[in-house]
Amino acid sequence: MAPFRLTDIVRDHARDRGAQTALTGGDRSVTYAELDDRVARIATGLRELGVGEGGRVVWLGKNAVEFFELLFAAAGVRAGVAPLNFRLTPAELIDLADDAEAGLVVLGPDFAELREKLDRDGRRVLVVGEDYEGWVDGLTERTEPAADADDEDTVLQLYTSGTTGRAKGVLLSHRNFGGLLSVGGHWGFDDESVGMVAMPLFHIGGSGFALVCLSYGARVVLVADIVPAQLLDTMEHEGITNAFLVPAVLQFLCQVPGAADRDWSKLRAVAYGASPITGPVLNKVLSTFRAPLFQVYGSTETTGAITQLDPDDHDPDGPRAHLMRSAGRAYPWVELKVVDPANDEDLPADEVGEIWIRSSQVTTGYWQRPEETEKSITADGWFRTGDGGYLDGEGYLFLTDRIKDMIVTGAENVYPIEVENVVAQHPAVADVAVIGVPDDTWGETVKAIVVAVEGESIDPDELMEWTKERIAGFKRPRSVDVVDELPRNASGKILKKDLRAKYVQ
């Protein structure tokens, strides 16, 4: 069997079902045949700009058809696309565009004001609309996908915050997506499916889920902004069969008056992830949408889902209700184990340690970070997740504490060190620790515990306001406590477990 290439998706479906709609977003729709034609011409444009093997295209925009044109075109010339988190500050976005060494930056209309700041160092910057369309219209020659493409060529570079506070580009290849796309068979996908992509494309839950849909020849409906009532309208009127959402969004949808009275007969599967779902929310989702639910666990580094909790295990009032606390079991092509983080030795069932994963879905590494790649992926291919958990006797995975202290707020990952570095710059702050605290809507929110400089006072509201211009909104502290001192061990390390014991109530 020939090795999988992401570019095969568009070419095969253009040949077999060219007149079928592939993507709908905003006021644009393209068929598979139209997508194939534009991808081939855009690939020519990329080569003219010098974007070829190992090159990068940066996408800064909301969910839109143009992203997928660029993604498949870049893959065809052995380059990759790096979608940026549009919630970051302009300074952070410019830094990431520089880090990606992008030869082309494409901006959504909402981000056109950044054009001048990003237009430097010889890179081309285009804004979606007349600017972008004028470029595409001027491209008449087709460039077919490179015959010498390698399984390990990066096709997508997703940025995730590192434990040092610096963002890392996670490299995802053809081979990685070849593994992920198999999940579609578990969710009832076929060429008559209609998938809704509401998660942002800079998340694997957005771009990865969209590629699963497209791989089956499904129609993909792209949602740029999550407005609960409008999202319900889209799901009903577009006849959505499959969706991936986070628990917070599912909760919002269920709170819309009349949500349960709509026609959900076409829904085949609703997958959710990024955080567990509570019993009350689960019951509400089941009674509202009356469709199978799938919980998944994974990360950017694993190209998304690597475990699944099946619909039959979503039974909060039944004899196996304890499984609602689990993330399900590994897919057949995924190896999973729990090791002692002190010595990397395998642990037996029910003992807590660090979760390790080995699969074709595991990233090839971090962009220009060989040392971090070596620390995260063992020589024999195991990815150290940094998540704590255990496997029970039936192979169900249960997550416990996060070894890396990562905070998950909504679907966003926040590393405390990044927030601490910002808060510590306030002139009245002498010491700071950041932890995640439970939140009924977002799963967790960011909390800062600070010590004031001697002789100074700290107003929590003023401090939270002060962070607005210095860090992305989802990373900002939502509560601040002022204390006399932070608990530390003999070596001076802050004892965050003590802070959690006090504040996570």
Query: Tens digits of per-residue pLDDT, 241-277?
Result: 999 998 878 988 998 999 999 999 999 999 998 665 6
In a domain, 169, yes or no: no
- Asked if 52 and 135 sit in the same domain, the reply is yes
Print the domain residue range for 458. Answer: 407-503
Which of 402, 435, 458 is at the close of a domain? 402
Task: Taking residues 306-322, report their average pLDDT.
Answer: 87
- Asked if 462 and 479 sit in the same domain, the reply is yes
- Asked if 101 and 217 sit in the same domain, the reply is no
- Asked if 263 and 381 sit in the same domain, the reply is no
Return all residues near 128 (Cβ < 8 A) that are at least 6 apart. Answer: 61, 64, 66, 106, 107, 108, 109
- Asked if 140 and 37 sit in the same domain, the reply is yes
Classify strands 242-245 and 219-222 as parallel, antiparallel or unpaired. unpaired
**Distance in angstroms (rounded) separating the CA atoms of residues 55 and 44:** 14
- Asked if 479 and 365 sit in the same domain, the reply is no
Distances (CA, A) of 239 to 196, 221, 236, 273, 441: 10, 10, 5, 22, 27
- Asked if 342 and 275 sit in the same domain, the reply is no
- Asked if 333 and 397 sit in the same domain, the reply is yes
- Asked if residue 159 lies in contact with residue 85, where contact means CB atoms within 8 angstroms, the answer is yes
Count of structural domains, the chain: 4
- Asked if 445 and 377 sit in the same domain, the reply is no
Residue 31 has pLDDT above 60, yes or no: yes
CATH number for position 135: 3.40.50.980
Strand intervals (E) in 370-442: 383-391, 397-402, 407-409, 412-414, 429-439
Task: Give the up-direction half-sphere exposure of residue 189: CA atoms within 13 A in the CB hemisphere.
Answer: 27
- Asked if 48 and 119 sit in the same domain, the reply is yes
- pLDDT tens profile 138-156: 999 999 999 889 999 999 9
In a domain, 311, yes or no: no
CATH number for position 482: 3.30.300.30
- Asked if 261 and 237 sit in the same domain, the reply is yes
Which of 264, 291, 318 is at the close of a domain? 291
Residue 278 binned pLDDT confidence (cut-offs 50, 70, 90): low
50: left (phi over 0), alpha (psi -120 to 50) or beta: left
In a domain, 32, yes or no: yes
In a domain, 457, yes or no: yes
- Asked if 470 and 431 sit in the same domain, the reply is yes
Mean pLDDT score across all residues of the chain: 91
Question: Which pLDDT score is estimated for 30?
Answer: 98
Phi and psi angles of residue 214, each rounded to the nearest 5 degrees, phi first: -65, -35
Which of 343, 372, 402 is at the close of a domain? 402
Distance of CA 340 to the CA centre of its chain: 28
Residue 491 has pLDDT above 60, yes or no: no
Return all residues near 48 (Cβ < 8 A) that are at least 6 apart. Answer: none
In a domain, 306, yes or no: no
Question: Which pLDDT score is estimated for 8?
Answer: 94
In a domain, 177, yes or no: no
CATH number for position 383: 2.30.38.10
Residue 164 has pLDDT above 60, yes or no: no
- pLDDT tens profile 46-83: 999 999 999 999 999 999 999 999 999 999 999 999 99
In a domain, 167, yes or no: no
Classify strands 28-31 and 104-107 as parallel, antiparallel or unpaired. unpaired
In a domain, 163, yes or no: no
- The residue to which tokens 């696309």 are assigned: 81
